[in-house]
Amino acid sequence: MTLECLGVATSGARAHCCVKDAHSNLKQRILPARVRVERYNAAMSKLTHLNAAGEASMVDVSDKPGTRRRAVARGILRMAPETLREIVRSGVPKGDVIAVARVAGIQAAKKCADLIPLCHPLPLSRVTVDFSPIDEDGLEVVAECVVTGPTGVEMEALTAVSVAALTVYDMCKALSHGIQIAEVRLLAKTGGKRDFAADESA
């Protein structure tokens, strides 16, 4: 905005120009705010766990057909190389880390609805939790969940990975408190309205 717009100008032409500039400036400020509100409202309308009043609500899936649904999730633990070696050779004082963490992950998938408030209890037909050393300081955790039902099992797979990784940390914290749990993510899902596959390069 020019000095004239601040009150220095006295001529009619300059005053008109000043008012026009001020109106344009105000319009530019208001329009993005309105667009942001519209985008926010559009995004909120897609959240199925909210009712018309914006309150948390469990989705009614009673009318959805039961189909075979599968989800795969992954997480990575980073740790000192010597800690990883102890895990691989079952040298951790608390016992077999992989065996205990696998059972913990499977149990967590079955208990997902007790942990995540709006998840549906599902009769899982398959849960696997596998571990693979990567590099010299990484342990990959991969969980797969399968169900025939009206809703997906993404949360079950993610919960299995998370709890399995936490169990590894618990069993190995006597060796190191510096273990990091990272990159917990959904890798793939099939069944339901649409499939998903993560971009492995991202």
* Closest to 128 measured CA to CA, from 94, 91, 153, 150: 153
Segment 39-70, tens digit of pLDDT: 545 544 555 656 666 676 677 787 788 899 99
pLDDT per position as a tens digit, 84-98: 999 999 999 999 999
CA pair distance 84, 46, nearest whole angstrom: 43
pLDDT of residue 71: 98
Residues 14-32 have pLDDT tens digits of: 555 555 666 566 555 655 6
170 is catalytic: yes
Residue in the block written with tokens 């499977």: 106
Q: In whole angstroms, give the CA distance from residue 55 to residue 9.
A: 54
Block residue for tokens 């037909």: 125
* pLDDT at 136 > cutoff 50: yes
> In terms of CATH architecture, what is 67-197?
2-Layer Sandwich (3.30)
Cβ contact 196:188 at 8 Å: yes
Nearest in space to 131 (alpha carbons), one of 87, 182, 91: 87
At 199, list the tokens.
């971009």
- pLDDT over threshold 50, residue 139: yes
Q: How many alpha carbons fall within 13 Å on the CB side of residue 199?
A: 2
Domain positions in the chain are 4-45, 67-197
pLDDT at residue 5 is higher than 60: no
Q: Return the pLDDT at 3.
A: 44
Task: Please state the rounded mean pLDDT for residues 112-126.
Answer: 95
User: Of 179, 173, 176, 147, which Cα lies nearest the Cα of 160?
Assistant: 147
- The pLDDT value recorded for residue 62 is 78
CB 51 within 8 A of CB 167: no
Over residues 107-117, the mean pLDDT reads 96
The pTM score is 0.73
Which residue among 60, 96, 170, 199 is the active-site one? 170
Mean pLDDT of 71-100: 96
Residue pair 109/143 in contact (Cβ under 8 Å)? The answer is yes
Beta carbons of 71 and 196 less than 8 angstroms apart: no
Contact between 183 and 76 (Cβ < 8 Å): yes
* Residue 11: strand, helix, or coil: coil
